[in-house]
Amino acid sequence: MSLRELVLAWQAQDKKCSDVFNATLAEINRLLDSVGGFATTSADKDGFCRDYIRFYEPTFGGGVCRTGDDPGGQHAGKVAPYEPEVGDKCFALDRAWREEAYKLTAAINAVRAYIEKVGGGKEPEHVALALIKDDEEH
């Protein structure tokens, strides 16, 4: 691939990643809102769950907990696993978005590798901006 093709692929993946993230964020927040702002995944074979907590608009957070853990605070009493059908859906959405993010990283790395190969020594962002400006001028 040419450098221009690599940069265009990067830009396309950046847009796709942003679109998937925004849709994922909205859907996870909708799911969490439907169960009071907190859910965990089903427990794995070792008794661990991933938790999802609805924060202020537009974010959510999460971590790892063990079966029987209580998150405390405003979600006190919601013992893990809690609403695992919702938590499992959140996890699947989160993983799908992360796959797009990994592809975005790969696209940026491909531009970096090309630049290193030809000895350009520039940041991919600078190269991309130069190519975009060049396209706009022609």
pTM above 0.85, yes or no: no
In this prediction, residue 120 carries a pLDDT of 64
- The residue written with tokens 């769950």 in the block is 49
Chain mean position to CA 93: 9
Block mean pLDDT (10 aa), the chain, length 138: 85 90 92 95 96 81 90 90 97 92 89 76 71 68
80: number of Cβ within 10 Å? 26
Sign of the dihedral defined by the CA atoms of residues 98, 100, 25, 126, in that order: positive
Q: Which domain holds residue 16?
A: 3-137
Give pLDDT, residue 41: 96
**Domains in the chain, number:** 1
